[in-house]
Amino acid sequence: MRTQVCIIGGGPSGLLLSQLLHRAGIDTVVLERQSQDYVLARVRAGVLEWGTVEMLNEAGVGARMEKEGFVHTGTYLAARNKGFRIDFDQLIGKKVMVYGQTEVTRDLYAARASMDGVVIHGTEGVALHALDTDAPFVTFTKDGTEHRIDCDYVAGCDGFHGPSRKAIPANVLKEYERVYPFGWLGVLSHTPPVSHELIYANHERGFALCSMRNANLSRYYVQCPLTDKVEDWSDSAFWDELKRRIPEDAAETLVTGPTIEKSIAPLRSFVAEPMRWGRLFLVGDAAHIVPPTGAKGLNLAASDVHYLYHGLVQFYQGDDEGVTKYSEKALARVWKSERFSWSLTTMLHRFPNQSAFDQRMQEADLDYLESSDAAKKVLAENYVGLPF
């Protein structure tokens, strides 16, 4: 088999890249290890930067998002039982869209199917070859049969645990990492969201976040020790802890109910450089991970796709500047989002052995934010997404 761009990974990165390239007349094949149902069962974040919204519309997959998504013009931060709002629209004239990543992925799969896009599920043993030549190829097995795909380029959209990053020689690849000493315990419940916008709460007991998926599907998180297990947390224990950490006025109106999903996720900051080696490009979680605090994961995947899509279109028009500069341009934006996600995580979470002074520093950060439009603007422009 031959294609122009072989895409490894059928998550948001791989599907969005495939959809955009297909619409530009560039052939792709997507290789996905899991079934479509498995990919769609993953529960992920739900805040889209406006640049991501525009890319989804450009890819022709934004209709349901426009209909079912929630445009948010601000968010709440809270500490010491008091919340305040960051008004993105008033401060910088921008907004975000709240629409679950699962739904984005569902829309992308539907669009791929409607265009007869080639997405091969259940691939095993994907291996990348001859990346440092002008004739790279990918091999894999499916249902016991060996396959080879010859291509011009390979897009490694295979997430943190995929084979693409590992295909870059150890003497070329440089990795940067910070692992946080806590996790997020998240739940979904068929209950109305406690607030019309998100609430990020700093509390001496730990961070909490109130989010949503729709008018009757809420998403909540509390920071927890990495040693905790999901089975350690009954629904009532979760609701009681969430109420302790969010402002009283929110806790009093919180509608609780049975959780339909409960999971604990670790937090890490991670970047691999370079994001290109020979004919291989790394995209999305294959190249970088952010703590979910700033809701940057999917949005960084989208900006990588933006740079690579335009670079590949340019390449097939005879100009290789875009693909040559992909890694440099993508990393410039990745590092700024990593910084924002790290800073928000540092400000809002309780760290083990944190001193009373450290807690006061976090509270002073939040007090300064509440009292300064300049400080709010800095947070707002990073939260809604820096320009591509």
Catalogue the active-site residues. 72, 200, 292, 296, 383
Residue 11 CB partners (closer than 8 Å, separation 6+)? 32, 39, 105, 157, 159, 284, 285, 301
Measured distance CA(78)–CA(315) in Å, rounded: 48
Measured distance CA(57)–CA(54) in Å, rounded: 5
Per-residue mark of binding to ligand APR, 54-93 (x: CB under 6 A) = ----------------------------------------
Under rule CB under 6 A, residue 285 binds ligand APR: yes
Instruction: Please say which residue, 28 or 293, places its beta carbon nearer to ligand PHB.
Output: 293
Q: Which residues bind ligand PHB (CB under 6 A)?
A: 45-47, 198, 209, 211, 219, 292-295
Measured distance CA(78)–CA(386) in Å, rounded: 24
Query: According to CB under 6 A, which one of 7, 11, 19, 136 is a site residue for ligand APR?
Result: 11
Instruction: Please say which residue, 198 or 271, places its beta carbon nearer to ligand PHB.
Output: 198
Cis peptide before 274 (omega within 30 of 0): yes
- Tell which positions 154-183 bind ligand APR, by CB under 6 A: 157-159, 161-163
Closest contact distance (angstroms) between CB of 210 and ligand PHB is: 9
Instruction: Please say which residue, 62 or 156, places its beta carbon nearer to ligand APR.
Output: 156
Measured distance CA(354)–CA(346) in Å, rounded: 11
- Tell which positions 114-153 bind ligand APR, by CB under 6 A: 123, 126
For residue 219, the partner it binds in ligand PHB, ligand APR, none, with Cβ less than 5 to 8 A by kind, is: ligand PHB
Edge-to-edge strands, sheet with 70-72: 47-48, 96-98, 70-72
Closest contact distance (angstroms) between CB of 137 and ligand PHB is: 38
Instruction: Please say which residue, 23 or 44, places its beta carbon nearer to ligand PHB.
Output: 44
Q: Where are the beta strands (DSSP E) in 105-189?
A: 118-121, 124-129, 137-142, 145-150, 153-156, 174-189
Q: Do 163 and 139 form a contact (C-beta atoms < 8 A)?
A: no
For residue 211, the partner it binds in ligand APR, ligand PHB, none, with Cβ less than 5 to 8 A by kind, is: ligand PHB
Closest contact distance (angstroms) between CB of 337 and ligand PHB is: 12
Query: According to CB under 6 A, which one of 3, 5, 7, 10 is a site residue for ligand APR?
Result: 10
For residue 297, the partner it binds in ligand APR, ligand PHB, none, with Cβ less than 5 to 8 A by kind, is: ligand APR
Instruction: Please say which residue, 203 or 288, places its beta carbon nearer to ligand APR.
Output: 288
Phi, psi of 372, deg, nearest 5: -130, 120
Q: Give Cα 33 to chain centroid, integer Å.
A: 20
Q: Which two tokens stand for residue 81?
A: 């039982």
Instruction: Please say which residue, 46 or 247, places its beta carbon nearer to ligand PHB.
Output: 46
Q: Do 53 and 65 form a contact (C-beta atoms < 8 A)?
A: yes
Query: According to CB under 6 A, which one of 100, 297, 322, 385 is a site residue for ligand APR?
Result: 297
Question: Alpha carbon of 42 to those of 38, 172, 343: distances in Å?
Answer: 7, 32, 26
Q: Which residues would be at the binding site for ligand APR (CB under 6 A)?
A: 8-14, 31-34, 39, 44-45, 101, 123, 126, 157-159, 161-163, 284-285, 297-298, 301
